[in-house]
Amino acid sequence: MTVIPFGAGVLAAGSVAYATFYQNSRIYGRIIARGSRGKMSLYLTFDDGPHPSATGRILEILDATETPAAFFMVGANVEKFSELARRVAACGQTVGNHTFHHQKLHLKGPRFIANELQQTHETIVRATDCQPGFFRAPHGYRNPFVSAVARRMGYASFGWTFGVWDTDQPGASEIRRRVRARLKPGAIILLHDGDGNDPRQDRSQTAEALPGIIDDAREAGYEFRPLAELVQA
Ligand SMILES: [Zn+2]
C-alpha cells in the first residue's frame, strides 16, 4: 500500500524537476526547441552578449557569409555595450531577451520575473530601436510564472536543440568539431558571445570557430535560417 504513494511522489518530483531544469520541457508552456526534422535547416543562436570579445567579430562573419542568427541578450550587457547591441539589430540579425541580470528564474515569483523581462525589453528598445519578440530563460530554467510573464508580454519562448559548452573555452577547433558532430535537421544551436555573470569572460574562441562551423554545415547540405520562421510554424 505504501509503495504506490511513494512511487507517485517520486514521479511527481521527477516531473517538476524535468519541467524546471530541462530547457525544452513543454510542461510550463509552449517552447520552441527545434525546427522541422524534415528540412535541412539550422538555427544559430548566441546567448549572454553583447560583449566586445566576440559580438563584433561574429557580426562580421555572419555578414560576410550571409548567415542569419539570433542574439539572446542580457540587459545589463546591452546597457554596458549598447553600441554593439545596436549593430546586431542594424545588421538585420534577430535580437532576443535573455533577462537583465541572468539569474536563474525557477525559484522567483512573478514580480521579479516581470521586472527582469521588462527592464531588458526597455533597454533593448532604447539601444536598438527594435522590439524584441523572442525570449530564452537563463540556463533554460523556468517555472509556471516564467512562461506566463513571457506570453503576456508577447514573447515567443525558445529552448535549444544542443549546446557545445563553448563557454569552457576548449579551443576554436574543438568548438567547431563539437558542433559538426551534433548537426541534425532543424537544430537550434546554442553558442555564446558573452557571459551572463562575469563581464571579463572572453568568447573569442566561439567567434574564431564560427567560419568553420558555417562551412561544415553548408558542406553537409544544411541551410541557416532565421529563427522567426519557427514562430509561425
Ligand atoms: Zn545565458
DSSP string, 50-74: --TTTHHHHHHHHHHTT--EEEEE-
pLDDT at residue number 105: 94
Q: What secondary structure letter does DSSP report for 139?
A: G
Ligand 1 centre and the CA of 219: distance in Å? 29
66 in Cβ contact with 42 (< 8 Å): no
Strand partners, 94: 70
The residue from 102, 192, 193, 195 that is catalytic is 192
pLDDT at residue number 9: 53
> What's the rounded Cα separation, in Å, for the pair 233 and 231?
6
Ligand 1 centre and the CA of 196: distance in Å? 6
pLDDT in tens, 178-223: 999 999 999 999 999 999 888 788 999 999 999 999 999 999 999 9
Active site residue 106: no
Ligand 1 centre and the CA of 9: distance in Å? 31
Ligand 1 centre and the CA of 181: distance in Å? 23
pLDDT at residue number 197: 84
> What's the rounded Cα separation, in Å, for the pair 85 and 48?
12
pLDDT at residue number 4: 43
- What element of type H or E holds 164? none
Statement: the pTM of the whole predicted model exceeds 0.85: yes
Strands (E), the chain: 41-47, 69-73, 94-97, 134-135, 156-157, 162-163, 188-192, 223-224
Cell of 45: 543562436
Active site residue 121: no
Strand partners, 130: none
Q: What is the mean pLDDT of each run of 10 residues along the chain (233 residues)?
A: 46 69 73 95 98 97 98 97 98 97 94 98 97 96 92 95 96 98 98 90 96 98 97 74
Pairing of strands 162-163, 156-157: unpaired
> What's the rounded Cα separation, in Å, for the pair 82 and 61?
20
